[in-house]
Amino acid sequence: MEDNDYSFGAMEDSSSRVSYDQGSEENGQGGDSSIVMEGGFSESQLGGGDSNSGLGVIAAKADFEWSAARETTEVKKELNGNQDREDSGEDDESKNRKRPFIDELGEEDSESLTEKRVKTEVKDETSMSNSESAIEGIREDVSDNESTEALWTAFDVIKPRIMKSEQLPDLEKFWRPVIESPKDFQAWTSLLQYVDHENDVAAAREAYDSFLRRYPYCYGYWKKWADYEKKKAMKKDCEKVFERGLAAIPLSVDLWLHYLNYCRVHHAANETFVREQFERAMTVCGLEFRSDRLWELYINWEVERDDLRRVFQIYDKLLAVPTQFHTTHWDNFQDLVNQNDPKELLTLEEYEELKLEIFTERKISTEAVADIKLTEEEIQAIRKKTKERRQVFHSKTEKDITDRWAFEEGIKRPYFHVKPLERGQLKNWKSYLEFEIEQGDQLRIDTLFERCLIACALYDDYWLMYAQHLESRWNDELDNRPQIEKQLRSVYRRACTVHVYDKTTLYLMWSNFEEKTGHLHRAGLILDLLEKVAPKFDSLAVRRVNLARRQGDHERVIAYYRKYIESAKKDNGTLAPLSLRASRFAAKVMDDEELAEEFVEKALEKEPRNARLYIQLFDVRFQKKPLDFEGCVQALNRALKSKLDLEQRCRFAHRKVEFLEDFGMNVDDISAAQDEYQKIALKLQNDRQAKAAAQMAQQQASATNAPTDASAGDDATKTSKTETSATATTTYTGAYDGANYQGFQGQAGYQGQYQYPGWGGYQYPAAAAAAGGWGQQGYYPQQGYGQPQ
């Protein structure tokens, strides 16, 4: 059967038709307004479910389907052709809209359709299930369960199973550029072009599968794959490809049209099945603003069967949906009512109700309503009331369209493309989303977000916006939590494994959400995925350690600490923070002082000038019970003999004095410590005075060279001399005294019990930052060391 065997009825317009030429603009183009929800749909979502059930965003069919893609904002080669949809084409389309109940098939097409219906084999027609897995020969997607060991991502290295083939001698030549540069969209399209025109089915399937995992929004290639399977006379495989594609992009009008036209031909004898597929399409894709062709195809199909009541029921749904050509649908609906007997359109209940209203208004006896034959005037009255009832929905829908028309007009590219969007379109999407959120209709909000995520798939701002919106709903709407949880997990999954996998914030949000919902194993898998994508992300180690700690797995916590400390480099600033955290965990949680000291000692081997490490070593020994006096003194002496800068050593010398005064038993040791402190403090003061004098001389030299007012210069000189004289007469004399230390230059004063600046909260000034690389970060609470109990 040729590709055009079922190309009849309401097909794509020329601007959306897919070209199979290699240079087509389809290279990089995806569905016109698609939802990607790897996970399929529940039964209620597939066929006429409750309207409040949402879009069928996630379902049980394949809850963790890793249909994956990696978009890029650059294309190495400029793509030829132009398949972008422009507004100019829409005006012509709106002028040539056909009446939905006028037969669109010519005589030849009608005869061809009849012949096909006769020849169609009907056995096993109803055996196809919407939940069937991908076709044989294609690897299965990973399921979302606690036993999962790894998650697939578009970041994974491409490893084709078939690189050589007798039918495809050049296959490896086409695979090689894709393997070396998975972002090269032109290389992908060349590969698909090559396998599509050859006879190696397994190689073609692997190529299509690998491509569509990374670019699931490219609806045109789902169509091409399905056509390839159909061309090879593999009907069931063709339908399985359709199912995968529709699960990946449920809002793609073009893919639904292609599938429904396929069903009209190959399942023509099974009207129930075809009608179920139409209803499924309306439930999933009917709310799309540009879904008019889909509705018309359904109406035309029912008109072919002369089932006007079903046509009328379809219009009842359509008139409440804001679509691009709503006015045309309203006109067609009125024509349908005016040209047919109301009894053939309305349900029996509504027909009898309207007839009773007419008789009541005309004061006709209603004792035998069923036996009374209506006059033409009464029929016209029923028609009028029928339209009046629908006028209410029509008016409301028109207002909804008017409110949104400016936003819709601003959407110039509603489908996915690897090329970046214009700033104006990005701003329009954001404004549109904010407007829809203010309206409060969750179904419309979800629909618009999913439409936006197709066109803006490469922009993490919109994924974050949707995730934050859903998390807010999850916190507030306790009754809807299961459904919202599925939606939110789908958003995170698509963002992190397919579209913006290099954005670490989304991974952390996803892991945190999974932990909040009690899926600790899954939270760990997500952090594993983040480590694979961004192994140098500093916060990852802390997240993984703390997740294991909250799970109560202390052995895994220590293992993680050892792993990340071992791999840490001195210049990236992670060695000391991780060592300090590990030391505190070992001492405070595991009550293992030896292990705590081990982490600090190993860190000091690599960073001997980090003051915080000496502080932690002293703190571990100080907190021991009984007090490790000798160990504390040894830690302080080690810091004083290290290569720390003079200011840091001055602080440690002062700390030693205070410690010995409170806990020392030998007054000679205290005196020696005081003398040591005085020497260091005096040297530090002299160094500061020398630096101040040099700076003052430099300023005076600059002032002398600069043309300034003479009197102002004299005043400045007098002031400088006065300041220099005051500085020169300042000396540091006398024995150690706690009150005198408060006046020491550069110190804010020692107040309270061991709570002087630099120790409380471990917040050092710039000098400490230069020594330890910590800046103003505070890792400890403010501590006071009192007498041991």
- pLDDT tens digit string along 586-606? 999 998 998 999 999 998 988
Q: Which of 8-22, 239-253, 429-443, 534-548 is predicted with the least confidence, judged by mean pLDDT?
A: 8-22
pLDDT beyond 70 at 16: no
pLDDT-based confidence at 369, cuts 50/70/90? low
pLDDT beyond 60 at 355: yes
- pLDDT of amino acid 317: 93
pLDDT beyond 60 at 411: yes
Burial class of residue 655 (count of CB atoms within 10 Å of its CB; 0-12, 13-18, 19+)? buried
CB atoms inside a 10 Å sphere around CB 732? 14
Q: What is the mean pLDDT of the segment spanning 210-238?
A: 89
- Helix 538-550 and helix 520-533: axis angle, to 10°? 160
- pLDDT of amino acid 367: 61
Higher pLDDT: 407 or 137? It is 407
Higher pLDDT: 272 or 93? It is 272
d(CA 412, CA 325): 17
- pLDDT of amino acid 643: 87
pLDDT beyond 70 at 714: no
Supply 634's token pair.
């040894």
SS3 358: helix
CB atoms inside a 10 Å sphere around CB 292? 23
User: Which range is most confident: 305-319, 352-366, 704-718?
Assistant: 305-319
pLDDT beyond 90 at 246: yes
d(CA 43, CA 56): 9
pLDDT-based confidence at 359, cuts 50/70/90? confident
392-407 residue pLDDT tens: 999 999 999 999 999 9
The widest CA-to-CA distance across the chain, in whole angstroms, is: 124
Supply 524's token pair.
């760990």
- pLDDT of amino acid 574: 83
CB atoms inside a 10 Å sphere around CB 2? 9
SS3 29: strand
d(CA 111, CA 344): 28
- pLDDT of amino acid 468: 94
**DSSP-assigned beta bridge partners for residue 29:** 417
Q: Which of 633, 730, 732, 720 is nearest to 679 (CA)?
A: 732
**DSSP-assigned beta bridge partners for residue 417:** 29
d(CA 15, CA 120): 31
Phi-psi region of 701 (alpha: psi -120 to 50; beta: other; left: phi over 0): alpha
63-98 residue pLDDT tens: 323 233 333 333 333 333 333 433 333 444 444 444
Angle (CA) 432 433 439, round 5°: 95
Sign of CA dihedral 620, 626, 632, 634: negative
pLDDT beyond 60 at 49: no
Supply 439's token pair.
């309206």
Q: What is the mean pLDDT of the segment spanning 408-419?
A: 89
- Helix 504-516 and helix 538-550: axis angle, to 10°? 10
Q: Which of 121-130, 504-513, 566-575, 620-629 is predicted with the least confidence, judged by mean pLDDT?
A: 121-130
- pLDDT of amino acid 707: 56
142-194 residue pLDDT tens: 334 433 345 677 777 777 888 777 778 888 889 889 888 888 888 998 999 99
Phi-psi region of 655 (alpha: psi -120 to 50; beta: other; left: phi over 0): alpha
The pTM assigned to this predicted structure is 0.67
Question: H or E element: which one contains 697?
Answer: helix 667-705
d(CA 750, CA 659): 14
Q: Which residue has the tokens 């041991």?
A: 788
Strand stretches in 609-761, DSSP E? none
Supply 730's token pair.
């300042």
Q: Which of 6, 196, 212 is nearest to 105 (CA)?
A: 6
Supply 756's token pair.
């002087």
- pLDDT of amino acid 763: 35
Q: What is the mean pLDDT of the segment spanning 50-70?
A: 32
- 232, 196 contact by CB (below 8 A): no
